[in-house]
Structure 1
Amino acid sequence: MTRRAARSPRFDLTIVLTYYLPYTSGLTEVARTVAEGLAARGRRVAVVAARHDTEHPTRETVRGVEVFRAPVAARIGRGVLSPGFAPLAGRIARASRVVNIHLPMLEAGLVARLAGGTPVVSTHHDDVWLPPGRLAALQVPVVDASVGAALRRSAAVVVNNVDHAEHSRHWPLMRDRRILAIAPPCRERATAPATFRESAGPHFGFLGRIAPEKGLHHLVDAFRTITDPEARLLIAGDYSKVAGGSVVGALRARAGDDTRIRFTGFLADSRVPEFYASLDAFALPSVAEESFGISQAEAMMLGVPSVACDAPGMRVPVSETGFGRLVPPKDPHALAEALLDVAAYSPERRAEGGRATRARYGTDSCLDAYDALFQEVGAERRVTV
C-alpha cells in the first residue's frame, strides 16, 4: 500500500454564500469586497454560490476571483433550492486552505460537513428573518438548525460587531467559539456632483434593498409629516430582483399623491456617490435587526449624518462616531424630528463626522483582519491525493 501524497490546496480561500454577483445586498458586498480584495493581494480565491440569474455562467473569473455557480431548481420565498450547491461547495472547499461560510444559509451545516478537513470560518451577518406567516414558521427553524451545525464546526466566527451578535438567537453557540469582530468593508467613495438634488429644501434618503424588513413604510410616513414643499425623500435600491419580493408597490401606495417622494430604482455603482452627495441626511429605519448598515456608514464617510433605529448592530456606526441620531424603532414622528435635526448640521460638523467615520470603517482594515485570520486558520492545511 502506498502512502497518499500531500500537496498544497488549489485555493487559499473559498467563500460560500447563496447569492453573489449580480445580486446586491450588504452580505454579498462583504463577500465580494473580501474576495476581490484578497485576490488583488495575490491570494487564490474562489466563490461558490447559487446560479440565481441564468444570464450568468456556471463558472467565470471576475476580477481575479474564480466564481462557481450551482443551478437553481426552485425558489421558496427568499431562498432557492439547488441540489448541486452543497456538493459543489464541498468539493471546492476541500481543495482550499480555508472555507468562509456566510450566514444565514439553508445549506450551511451540510457545506461545513462536506468541507471535510478544511477549516471553517463562519461570518455571521444576521439571524434569518422572514415576514410573519406559515412559510416563516417552516423555514426559520430549518435554517437556524443548519446555521447552528455550521457554527459548531467553525474554527472561528466573524461578526460585524459584538453588540449585534449578543442579541442573536445563535449567541449561546457563538460565545463558545473564537469570535472576531470585524466591521464590514465600507468604501470611501469619491466626491461627486449632487445630481439627485431637485430643490433648495432638505433631501433625505435611503439606499438598499426595497424589502419588508427595511421599515421603509415608517420612513414614508415620517417624511409625510414634514410640510416643507421643497423637501425631498429619495429611496434608492433594486425592487425588481429582491429575494422574497419587493414592497415598492405598497410604498408607492403609501406615498399617495406626495410628489416629493422619489423611487430611483437600482443605482449603478458609478452613481452611488452622486446619490450620497445629494443628501442632507441618511435614514436606516429597519424593523429587523441590521448587523451594521454598510450604506449608512458609506454615506457618513462622505459627511452625510445618519438617523438609524436604536437597535443592536445598526446603531453602531452612529453610536461609535456620534455622527447622527438614534431613534426608537417604528416611530415615524421621532424619525421625522431626527431627520430634520441632522439635516441642519453645520458644514464643520459634517466634515468632522466624515473624518471620524472614515478613520473607523475603511476597507483596508477589514481586509487586513480577514487576511490575517484566514492565513492563521489555514496555515497547516494540506490536501491528500
Structure 2
Amino acid sequence: MGIDKQDLPYYLMPRPPQSAIDIQSGVDRYLFILLQAQACIYRPVDDCVMSPVIEPKLESVAEMPMPKLLPEMRQEKAAAGGVLATLKLIVGYTRQLLQLRKQLSELPNRSEGLIHVNRVGCEIQTIAARLAGFSTVVTTVHNLPGEDAPAQHWFRRCIEWLSFACGDRHICVSHATFDAWHQRVGLRRDQVEIIYNGMTPPDYSQFDRDQYRSKLLPAATDAVWIGICARLHPMKGHAVLLQAFARLLQGGEHPEVALVIAGSGGLDQELQQLAKDLEIEDSVYFLGHRTDAIEFAAAIDINVLPSIHSETLGYSLIEAMFAARPSVVSDVGGMKELVQNSGGGKVVKAYDVEALADALACYLSNPTQMVADGQKAQSYALEHLTADKMAAATMEAYAKLV
C-alpha cells in the first residue's frame, strides 16, 4: 500500500538537527537520518516546550541504582514528595500542555495531516497534538519506563497512559521496548510497529585505520582497543565496565589492551577517579565528546555497551555492526536482540562484572572469533539496519493509517 507524498502534510516533531555536528543523542540521530531519507515529505516542527519531568539526580557513580538499593532509593525519594509537590507537578504539566496545544494549533491542515512525535516516556506531545486537532498521530518510542521513584508517581503514570492513548500508531525501536510499555500502560501489539533504528552504511574505502589510531592514541596504537561510545551517564554502565576491565587486567594475560571511552557527561571526573582507584588509569583513555563516531567504530576492535537500565537500542551498537566490530552488551533493552539475531557478539547480564570481563577475555583469547563475529554483525546490519529500510517501514506504518 502506497501514499502520495504530495497529498497530505507530514509533520515531524521535534525539529531534527540541521547537521551531523548538532547530533547530541540517539533520538537526534534517529530524527536526522529519518529526515534525510524522507526529506521531501516532512515539515519539521519546533518543539520549544519542554515537559516538566522530574528526573532523579543520578550524577554520581556512588548513586547508581544497583538492584539491591532500588527499594531503599524509592522509599527515600517517595518520602521526599507530598501534596504540594503533586500540585506543582499537575499545574506544570497542565500549563505546558496548553502552551504546546496552542503552538500546534497554528499549523495548517491539521485535520488532514499526520504528525510523527518522537519523544520518550512521560510527555505531553501526543496529547497536545490530539487536542490541537491532528487527525493522525504517530509516535516513535525511544525509551523504557523509568525505574526511579518519580517515575512511579500516580500522576506521571496517568500522563504516560494518556500519552500512549492519544497516538494512533506507535513505533517501538525493539521488541523489548514494546514488552516494557505493554507491562507499564497495557500497550497492545496491534497498536505497534517494531522498526529497528537504521543508518546509512558508512563508506570506509578512504578510511586509514592505522593513521586514525596513531593520531588519536599514539601510545596505544598497537593495543587491542575495547571501545565504548556513549554519554557519561549512570545508565550506560561505565562504572561496571571499569571494574570488569580491572578484573581483565589482573591476571596479566592481556597486557596489550586499552579501554577507550568516547563521550562526555557529568561523570567524567568521577569515572577517571574510579580508574585511578582501580589502578588501571594507564590503560584507560577518556576521549570526551566525539563527532567522528563512524570512524571511532572502525578504529576499535571490540565494542562494549554495558548499560544497566533505560536503554532501548543505542546507535553506537549499530555503528559498530556496520564497521564489522563484535559487541559485548548487557541484557537491557533491545541491544541483545540485534546481537542474538546477528550472532555478532555476546550478551551478559547487567551489573555482572565477572561475566562482562569473561566475555571480553574470550574475544582477546580468540582473535579469529572476534573477526568472524564482527563480519556476522556487518552482514546483518547491511540487510536489516539501513536508513532506507527504516524509512520504508516508517512510510508503510503511515500508509496503514492514511
Question: Is 2:268 aligned against 1:248?
Answer: yes
Partner of 1:54: none
Quote the residue 2:164 is aligned against. 151
Residue 67 of structure 2 corresponds to which residue in structure 1? none
The separation in 2 between residues aligned to 1:193 and 1:284, in whole angstroms, is 25
Aligned partner letter, 1:338? A
1:320 and 1:73 map into 2 onto residues whose CA distance is 36
Which amino acid is the alignment partner of residue 149 of structure 1? L
What is the identity, as a one-letter code, of the residue corresponding to 2:11?
T
Alignment of 1:221-300 (within 5 A): 221-227=243-249, 228-239=254-265, 246-256=266-276, 257=279, 258-268=281-291, 271-300=292-321
CA distance in 2, matches of 1:34, 1:313: 20
Residues 67-86 of structure 1: pairs in structure 2 closer than 5 A = 70=49, 77=55, 83=96, 84-86=99-101
Residues 178-217 of structure 1 aligned to structure 2 (within 5 Å): 178-191=191-204, 192-194=207-209, 195-196=212-213, 198-217=220-239
Task: Measure the CA separation in 1 of the matches of 2:202 and 2:153.
Answer: 36
Partner of 1:12: 9
SS at match of 1:121: strand
Residues 161 and 183 of structure 1 are in contact (CA less than 8 Å); yes or no, is this contact kept in structure 2? yes
Q: Comparing both structures, which one devotes a greater share of its residues to strand?
A: 1
- Asked whether the 8 Å contact 2:235–2:311 carries over to 1, the reply is no
Residue pair 2:342, 2:380 contacting (<8 A) in 1 also: yes
Query: Hey, what does 1:58 align to over in structure 2?
Result: none
Per-residue CA deviation, residues 266-325 of structure 1 (Å, 9 max, x unaligned), is 111xx2222112211111111104222221122012110000112341211101101110
**Aligned-partner Cα distance in 2 for 1:93–1:184:** 30
Moved more, 258-267 or 17-26: 17-26
Q: How far apart are the structure 1 equivalents of 2:154 and 2:286?
A: 35
2:379 aligned partner: 355
1:157 partner letter:
H
Amino acid at match of 2:381: T
1:296 & 1:73 partners in 2: Cα distance? 29
Residue 87 (structure 1) aligned with residue 102 (structure 2): yes
Match of 1:65 in 2: none
Amino acid of the structure 1 residue aligned with 2:37:
G
Q: Unpaired runs of 5+ in structure 2?
A: 58-91
Whether contact under 8 Å (1:17, 1:105) holds in the other structure is: no
- 1:35 maps to 2:35: yes
- Contact 1:94 1:118 (C-alpha < 8 Å) held by counterparts: no
The DSSP-based 3-state class of the residue aligned with 1:296 is: helix
On the 8 A contact 1:305/1:324 being kept in 2, the answer is: yes
CA contact (8 A) 1:160 1:181 kept: yes
Aligned to 1:48: 46
Residues 80-127 of structure 1 deviation map (CA, whole Å, 9 limit, x = unaligned): 999444532454386471111223252235323323142111212223
Q: Which residue pairs with 1:369 in the alignment?
A: 393
What one-letter code is carried by the residue in structure 2 that aligns with 1:87? K
User: How far 1:176 moved relative to its partner?
Assistant: 6.0
| Whole-Å separation in 2 of the counterparts to 1:309 and 1:32 | 27
Q: Distance in 1 between matches of 2:357 and 2:193?
A: 36
SS of 2:261's partner is strand
Structure 1 counterpart SS, 2:311: coil
8 Å CA contact retained: 2:145, 2:180: no
**Structure 1 residue 149, shift from structure 2 partner:** 1.1
The offset of 1:10, in angstroms, is 10
- CA RMSD of superposed structures (Å): 3.2
Task: Judge conservation of contact 2:144–2:312 (CA < 8 Å) in 1.
Answer: no
Q: Distance in 2 between matches of 1:93 and 1:160?
A: 30
* Count of aligned pairs: 337
- Amino acid paired to 2:38: L
- Distance in 2 (CA, whole Å) between partners of 1:141 and 1:31 is 31
Instruction: Compare the two structures and name the one with the higher helix fraction.
Output: 2
Query: Residue 358 of structure 1: SS of its match in structure 2?
Result: helix
**1:141 Cα offset (Å):** 4.8
User: Are 2:24 and 1:24 aligned?
Assistant: yes
Counterpart of 1:302 in structure 2: which amino acid?
Answer: A
Structure 1 position 315 matched with structure 2 position 331: no
Matches of 1:146 and 1:108, distance apart in 2: 11
SS at match of 2:198: coil
The separation in 2 between residues aligned to 1:138 and 1:360, in whole angstroms, is 34
Instruction: State TM-score, norm by structure 1.
Output: 0.77
| Secondary structure in 2 matching 1:100 | strand
TM-score (structure 2 length as normaliser) = 0.74
Q: Cα distance, 1:142 vs. partner? A: 4.3
What secondary structure is seen at the aligned counterpart in 2 of 1:36? helix
| 1:193–1:277 contact (8 Å) kept in structure 2 | no
User: Could you list the per-position Cα deviations for residues 160-200 of structure 1 after superposition, in whole angstroms to 9, with x for gaps in the alignment?
Assistant: 12233113365553216521111112332222333235232
3-state SS of the aligned residue for 1:116?
A: coil
Looking at structure 1, the residues matched to 394 and 301 of structure 2 have their Cα atoms a distance apart, in angstroms, of: 33
CA contact (8 A) 1:14 1:99 kept: yes
2:127 to 110, 132, 148: 110
The amino acid across from 2:309 in the alignment is A
Q: How far off its partner does 1:36 sit?
A: 2.8
The C-alpha deviation readout for 1:35-70, integer Å capped at 9, x for no partner, is 23211xx213213323xxxxxxxxxxxxxxxxxxx5
Aligned to 1:315, what secondary structure does the other structure show? helix
1:324–1:76 distance in 2 versus 1, CA, 3 Å: same
